[in-house]
Structure 1
Amino acid sequence: MKKQLFNSPVIILVLSVLLFSNCGTKEKPTQVEEQSNNSPNIILFVSDDHGTDAIGAYGNKVIKTPNLDQLAAEGVRFNNAYCTSASCAASRSVILTGLYGHATGSYGHVHDYHHFSSYDNIKSLPVLLENSGYETARIGKYHVAPESVYHFQKVLEADPRNTVEMAEQCKEVLNSDKPFFLYFCTDDPHRGAPFESDPWNLPNSFGNKKEGYEGVETITYDPKDVVVPSFLPDSQESREEIAQYYQSVSRIDQGFGKLMKMLKETGKDKNTIVIYISDNGMAFPGAKTTVYEPGIKLPCIIKDPLANLKVGSVNNALVSWTDLTPTILDMADVTYDSNEFHGKSFKKIMGEENPKGWNEVYASHTFHEITMYYPMRVVRNKNYKLIRNIAWRQEYPFASDLWAASTWQEVYRSDKEFFGKRKVKDYLFRPEFELFDLSNDPDESKNLANDKNYAEVLEALKNKMKAFQLKTKDPWLITWDHDNSLQGTGVNL
């Protein structure tokens, strides 16, 4: 039986602040119970740099994603699902812990000299599920550290650009005698190496190859047919790159379809929860590495055959990747202390289109590459969204792959005034606060922070942001008023 929480809002607030303040810094045991073989299997399928702009189920009538569309037709499509940082490693740490990266030390990339790593006392989702009797396995992109924190019992090998091959390597896991948790992570549709084209105006490959991939049908797109999102310039370079991006997404879809076919052949599809998400938005300037909507508002499609939900339903709750770990534990019927996570389970409201109390999310970005220090904190409350650019006095830094993108280079080399609907100078040099009314300005093009008519809204969201940073023990809280109470003394006592 799961633990009952106190009903008093005051008690909840006090306990939350006290308990959250210890996340990532003090060892705390997590109680889990051994599960029976009747526990549901769970597949968490995570693509790399895939936005809602490139899935048929989210309204794109050009791209071919029949298998993902089928998942949405059989499950629940979330319309307001957010990552907390539009950066691969930082986002993945949140997905697997239910904690913001600023509280776990997962400030940015793991690989090479970036070397950001989670604190070694963090309890991750695969470890918690293993402790409760699950067989855990991963395949494809990992991009978190250390391994002792993000431990999986099985590590499967395949070309992470060939999702059909990846699916085939999962056969043994799908046939497991124990309930399984499969973490399936593609490299698609991330930009492909080399990032710099020669000549500069050639589109990036997005992992596509002329010879294609074994077992995968190569689906190509005519640049004139693609849908150019409003935040991008409608140029030949943009269209050619989006066409490559679409091709990579269609490869994901085929691998996903293969995996679902194999699952059905095992007879376990009626007892397997399938979740499709991405780590951040499309790999174009204005999306990935930003906290604008194209960077952090992402696909989230869930099929839970055990929940008796209306098929093909939609859910408009504002949910966050911090919510995924507690939600999955809840789905697996694993007993846990909800106060150990920054997010909360949305299992009970999955079948509701407009559930009450789910109208606020937060985001926290600090680094992408180590050379890209640009901390940003975000609160979205209903339709108002506040961004605080903590390092606003410096030029906005570019990810190396996005700088080399022909989509950006066409604007940069031509010295154009606009990049999409935003002026280039406004993209590169941002004010400390950006306030948007998303109901009237979905493109986030009109900053209301200096509008006196929105002074009360601005102040209210600032207070929410400060409270969030205090509650989640964000070291960057100090940048408001030099309050160093969250820091240690620097002296070993």
Structure 2
Amino acid sequence: MFRSILLLLMIGVSLSIYSQKKKSKSGKPNIVVVFADDISAREIPIYGSSVWSKPPQGGDTSDPIYRAKTPVLDKIANEGVWIKTAWASTVCMPSRAMMMTGRFGHVHKWWNNKDKGTWINEDGKKEAWPIYEGSPHTNAFVAKAGGYATLWAGKTQMSGVDKFGFDEGVFTPGVHEENNAYSDFKILQKKKNGKSILINTDTGVEVDYYQQFGWYWQPHVELMNHPGSKSQFEIWPNTPESKASYGLHTYGPDIELDFVFDFMERKHQEGKPFFVYHTTHLGHDGWDFFSPDINKNTRQKWPGTPKIEWVNGKYYRTEPKITGDNGKYNTHGTVTEGGIHTHINYIDYQIWQYLEKFKELGVEDNTVLIFCADNGTSGYGKNSPISQKGVHVPLIIYAPCLSMTKSGEQDVLANIADILPTIADLGGVKIPDSYEINGESLMPFLTTNKKEHRKWIYSYHKEMQLIRGKNVMKDGKGKIYDVSKYPDDLISFPVINDWSAVSEKHINEHKKLQNILPQFNLHKTAHDAPIGGLGEVEPLRLK
């Protein structure tokens, strides 16, 4: 009897030791950043807006039919924290530069999608200054300095993806999409009678849109440095099994997550912490190849997703079935209607999948999950410098491993640039003092009794500057707003025209904000890269 009990105890101890070994050897938490596309804070129900966006082309609605349903985001926001006022840039490229670098436009020089600082490259040619040249301490390199394995999944929108510090990548669409022969879901630019036109290659019909390689249904996918690949970059599907299963029913966001989970499993087995940078397309508009004949005024901006259902605390997904060709398709009731709300619903489903995967791997108490977005919703805030329409995005942080001192709604200010120094703190990485970082780590706010995170937040739109504190905001058009109280729609702040009618704290804060702006106001005087590039940069170090 005694021997049996002793044997059981020994087995228990052995299993406990094995479990501990399966955690990362460094003891550092895994980090997953889900960076959604074109989603304003108002679209996420927990933000409590009385207005959100409607299909097919956007605009305002309060119709509950078009309200997203996010039981999982609600849960992690309440158990973790959600930041009431988080700012990005007004459009994707400068926002992604901010996320990648922890810096504002005056340093990385990506002022807008079509307004980037230039430099003369090694071949003597003038081009946009690459982020990895101007800001070499990217989020991936910071994580790697902390001992993390790194993966970039989803949207790229940046050239030289192999130079940002990521060990592996799965990109939709790929960086060599012109070589992808597996999908004809493309909108391609062609010449007709000397004039550039756009053609839907699935139907051969001229369309009024923009060039793109499909990233939702029958997606264009490319792998980078994936184990078993024959080269650094490889078009997917790349195996007999994946080629046999690929088709109209294949959904890009699902493929991204498959590769994310494969990466997580491998790195967990190696005992190495992982950093996943998941730049999903969900939220972004895209050509609806299943309904190509609808005119541009009624065309669905946000194509439908696979159908999902939330029942008794679990999500269930309907396996898509799609038949047809050449623009004539039948989805057999397995695809949702279009709308940004369906995209957000699918994000919620994928966040649930992440949480379930964490449990499966046994890392649910050793992983930090951050959900945020790059700019305001298309058709509402995207590319807008007015008020905070273009910059106000959701930010949710779920981190059971941090023993956070805060939970639920946090009426504080945060910036997307804050994510990189937060990653540095989580990984125990010291960024040199000589290397300018404009973000501020969220760790002191999340884990101590610190009441405020930042006193002000900043953004930019080409030459325009936006800044706000707790009481006053200046938008890109120069209007000043009283932001001491949130309106129901999260945007209709009163304009300050009469300074004698506001409090002393409004006046003092406005003066402070005005004194901050000149250090970032370099669009006119230092638009491009410094001559000769960046020069020598101090390395990252462990604390």
Matching residue's letter, 2:397: I
Aligned: 1:179 with 2:273? yes
Q: For structure 1, which runs of at least 5 residues remain unmatched after alignment? A: 1-34, 220-241, 367-374, 390-432, 479-483
| Alignment match of 1:38 (pick from 27, 31, 34) | 27
1:422-437 aligned at under 5 Å gives the runs: 433-437=478-482
Question: 1:290 is matched by which residue type in structure 2?
Answer: P
Task: Select 2:496's aligned residue among 429, 448, 473.
Answer: 448
Q: 2:472 matched to 1:384? A: yes
Q: CA deviation at 1:271?
A: 0.8
Q: Classify the secondary structure of the residue corresponding to 1:295.
A: coil
Structure 2 residue matching 1:184: 3-state secondary structure = strand
Q: 1:248 to 1:358 in 2, by over 3 A?
A: same
Contact 1:164 1:254 in 2 (8 A): no
Deviation of residue 455 (structure 1)? 12
Instruction: Check if 1:81 corresponds to 2:76.
Output: no
Where does residue 76 of structure 2 map in the other structure? 71
Indicate which of 99, 105, 112 corresponds to 2:103. Answer: 99
Return the match for 2:40 from 45, 51, 54: 51
1: CA distance, partners of 2:31 / 2:281: 21
Give the distance between the partners of 1:201 and 1:362, measured in 2 at CA.
35
> CA–CA distance in 1 between the matches of 2:485 and 2:411?
18
1:292 partnered with 2:348? no
After superposition, the CA RMSD in angstroms is: 3.9
**SS of alignment partner, residue 306 of structure 1:** helix
In 2 relative to 1, CA 314–465 (structure 1 residues): closer, same or farther, beyond 3 Å?
A: same
Q: Percent identity?
A: 22
Measure, in 1, the Cα distance between the counterparts of 2:531 and 2:466: 29
With over 3 angstroms needed to count, the CA separation of the structure-2 counterparts of 1:194 and 1:449, relative to structure 1, is farther
Identify the match of residue 163 of structure 1 among 253, 256, 259.
253
Relative to 1, partners in 2 of residues 1:59 and 1:267: Cα closer, same or farther, differing over 3 Å? Answer: same
1:281/1:287 contact within 8 Å kept: yes
Q: 1:194 to 1:106 in 2, by over 3 A?
A: farther
Instruction: Give the TM-score normalised by structure 1.
Output: 0.66
**Residues in 1 aligned to 2:295 and 2:147: alpha-carbon distance in whole angstroms:** 54
Partner of 1:355: 451
Q: Which runs of 5+ in 2 are unaligned?
A: 1-23, 50-63, 119-126, 174-214, 217-251, 309-315, 321-336, 534-543
SS of the equivalent of 1:256 reads: helix
Q: What is aligned with 2:513? A: 464
Shift of 1:70: 2.2
5 Å-filtered alignment, 1:190-339, equals 190-193=284-287, 198-208=294-304, 216-217=317-318, 244-309=339-404, 312-337=407-432
Equivalent position amino acid for 2:480 in 1: L
Kept in 2: contact 1:73–1:311 (CA 8 A):
no
Opposite residue 58 of structure 1, the aligned amino acid is: Y
Determine the C-alpha separation between the residues in 2 that align with 1:71 and 1:469.
38
**Number of residue equivalences:** 374
Q: Deviations over 1:143-189 (max 9, x none)?
A: 23443652311012568544333222222321212111001111111
> Residue 444 and residue 151 in structure 1: after superposition, are their counterparts in 2 closer, same or farther (change >3 A)?
same
Q: Determine helix, strand or coil for the equivalent of 1:359.
A: coil
| TM-score normalised by length of structure 2 | 0.60
Q: What residue in structure 2 maps to residue 401 of structure 1?
A: none
- Whether the 8 Å contact between 1:289 and 1:295 is mirrored in structure 2 is yes
Change (3 A) 1:312 1:292: same
Determine the C-alpha separation between the residues in 2 that align with 1:486 and 1:200: 36
Residue by residue over 1:116-154, the C-alpha shift from the partner in whole angstroms, topping out at 9 and shown as x without a partner, is 742614121101221332100011012234436523110
Structure with greater strand share of residues: 2
Give the letter for the 1:107 counterpart. Answer: W
Distance in 1, matches of 2:276 and 2:132, equals: 24
* 3-state SS of 1:174 partner: helix
Instruction: Quote the Cα distance in structure 2 between the aligned partners of 1:73 and 1:465.
Output: 35
- The 5 Å alignment of 1:122-161 reads 122=135, 123-147=137-161, 149-157=163-171, 161=216
- Kept in 2: contact 1:386–1:458 (CA 8 A): no
| Partner Cα distance (2:482, 2:382) in 1 | 18
**What is residue 342 of structure 1 aligned with on the other side?**
438
Deviation at 1:88, TM superposition (A): 0.8
Contact 1:192 1:207 in 2 (8 A): yes
Distance change (3 Å), C-alpha of 1:286 and 1:153: closer
Conservation of the 8 A alpha-carbon contact between 1:139 and 1:166: yes
Partners of 2:31 and 2:367 within 8 A in 1:
yes
Conserved? CA contact 1:52–1:58, under 8 Å: yes
- Does the CA contact (< 8 Å) of 1:364 and 1:377 recur in 2? yes
Secondary structure of 1:96's counterpart equals: helix
1:13 matched residue in structure 2: none
Shift of 1:309: 2.2
